[in-house]
């Protein structure tokens, strides 16, 4: 018993082939009868061989009829197996899609060859792999968000309980500590909201021709006070100024975030340098620091949500762990590239490349 696509394909093959055979058989039978009739009219001696020719005509017509019937039966058998072979991969893909819909994202379909059906199977496998990766990322993100929110909330709760029980006096320093934890919570929520907005389909940039050096200098001026306060030198090595289509507000956000990271991970007495290199096709922006650096095997992970080299998430190197993810999204929205240089051994060098 068979049904569905297999049945439809079998029926289509049988009808198509049978129609051709029946039409061809009828034409042959008509031609045979026609030529025997013409022979009867054109040959005067036909009456003497009439029984023989009549028998011969019946034999030919019978042969054509039974050959057509046999061919139709053969077509039915061949159509069944051909339809089965054609429909099997599609049925397997349907079952795989149904399992994926139920959350079984590890399912895969077998692919052999380079035809369109196998291309469809490979596309389905790729979709399953991406969905599985996204599901893993979603679970990791949920866990990371819970961890990020749990820590400051636990700190706030413990302080408030200590105040309530009279263990701690609500001194200015302790209240400021609580305020810092609250600010950290607000920062995490704001970053999550912004990242969600950036990943929405309706997100777009307001790009206009902008003087790149002007944006960089403005960002440097905005953070220079924090660098002076920590005793870190912030230098600029800018080549000729050019105009490039950018969203000035978003690009300033990228630079401020990268400067903030460099400031956080560079010790007192260190140095941070922002440099540009311009050629006929692109512009390269580099931000180098003399801080603690990033191991080569971790250089590509820093742009993932909630990734921090400090696995313990201690507050000396605080932050939400979302900043560099936002940076990457903004750079890619400008059709640019961002990466950590693997050749820069003393500290960290972040590179951004944009097409002119």
Q: What is the pLDDT of residue 3?
A: 57
Is the pLDDT score of 178 beyond 70?
yes
Straight-line distance from the first to the last Cα atom of the chain, in angstroms, rounded to the nearest whole number:
64
Say if residues 287 and 259 touch (Cβ distance below 8 Å): yes
Strands 282-289, 243-246: parallel, antiparallel or unpaired by DSSP?
A: unpaired
Give the sign of the dihedral formed by CA 121, CA 122, CA 127, CA 132: positive
Q: Which residues contact 215 (CB under 8 A, 6 or more apart)?
A: 246, 248, 251, 252, 255
Evaluate if residue 288 carries a pLDDT over 50. Answer: yes
| 3-state class (DSSP) for residue 37 | helix
What's the average model confidence in pLDDT over 2-24?
Answer: 76
The greatest distance separating any two alpha carbons of the chain, rounded to the nearest whole angstrom, comes to 136
Cβ partners under 8 Å of residue 295, min gap 6: 309
Which residues face 289 on adjacent strands?
Answer: 272, 348
What digits encode the pLDDT tens for the residues 29-58?
888 777 777 776 766 665 666 676 677 777
Give the residue with greater pLDDT, 89 vs 243.
243
Q: What is the mean pLDDT of the chain?
A: 80
pLDDT, residue 1, reads 40
Report residue 350's pLDDT band, with 50, 70 and 90 as the boundaries.
very high
In this prediction the pTM is: 0.57
Report d(CA 326, CA 251) in Å as an integer.
11
Other C-beta atoms closer than 10 Å to the C-beta of 314 total 9
Tokens, residue 76: 């039915």
d(CA 217, CA 98): 55
pLDDT of 317 above 90: no
What 3-state class would DSSP assign to 167? coil
Say how far apart CA 23 and CA 127 lie, in whole Å. Answer: 47
**Residue 257 phi, psi (nearest 5):** -65, -45
């Amino acid at each position: 018993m068979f049904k569905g696509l297999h049945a439809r394909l079998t029926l289509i093959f049988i009808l198509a082939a049978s129609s051709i055979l029946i039409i061809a058989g009828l034409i042959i039978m008509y031609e045979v009868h026609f030529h025997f009739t013409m022979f009867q009219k054109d040959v005067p001696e036909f009456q003497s061989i009439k029984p023989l020719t009549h028998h011969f005509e019946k034999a030919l017509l019978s042969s054509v009829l039974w050959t057509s019937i046999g061919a139709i039966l053969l077509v039915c058998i061949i159509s069944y197996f051909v339809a089965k072979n054609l429909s099997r991969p599609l049925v397997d893909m349907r079952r795989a899609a149904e399992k994926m819909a139920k959350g079984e994202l590890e399912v895969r379909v077998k692919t052999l060859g380079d035809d369109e059906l196998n291309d469809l199977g490979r596309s389905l496998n790729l979709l399953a792999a991406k969905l599985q990766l996204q599901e893993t990322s979603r679970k990791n993100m949920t866990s990371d968000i819970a961890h990020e929110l749990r820590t400051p909330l636990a700190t706030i709760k413990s302080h408030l309980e200590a105040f309530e029980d009279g263990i701690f006096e609500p001194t200015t320093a302790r209240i400021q500590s609580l305020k810092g934890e609250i600010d950290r919570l607000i920062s995490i929520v704001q970053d999550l909201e912004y990242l969600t907005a950036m990943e929405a389909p309706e997100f777009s940039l307001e790009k206009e021709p902008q003087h790149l050096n002007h944006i960089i200098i403005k960002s440097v001026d905005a953070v220079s006070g924090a660098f002076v306060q920590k005793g870190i030198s912030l230098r600029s090595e800018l080549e000729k100024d050019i105009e490039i289509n950018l969203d000035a507000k978003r690009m300033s956000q990228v630079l401020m975030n990268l400067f903030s990271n460099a400031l956080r991970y560079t010790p007192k007495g260190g140095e941070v340098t922002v440099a540009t290199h311009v050629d006929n096709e692109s512009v390269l922006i580099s931000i180098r620091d003399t801080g603690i650096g990033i191991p080569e095997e971790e250089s590509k992970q820093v742009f993932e949500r909630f990734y921090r080299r400090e696995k313990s998430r201690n507050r000396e190197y605080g932050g939400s762990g979302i900043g560099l993810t936002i940076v990457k999204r903004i750079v890619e929205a400008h059709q640019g590239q961002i990466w950590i240089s693997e050749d820069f051994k003393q500290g960290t060098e972040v590179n951004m490349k944009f097409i002119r």
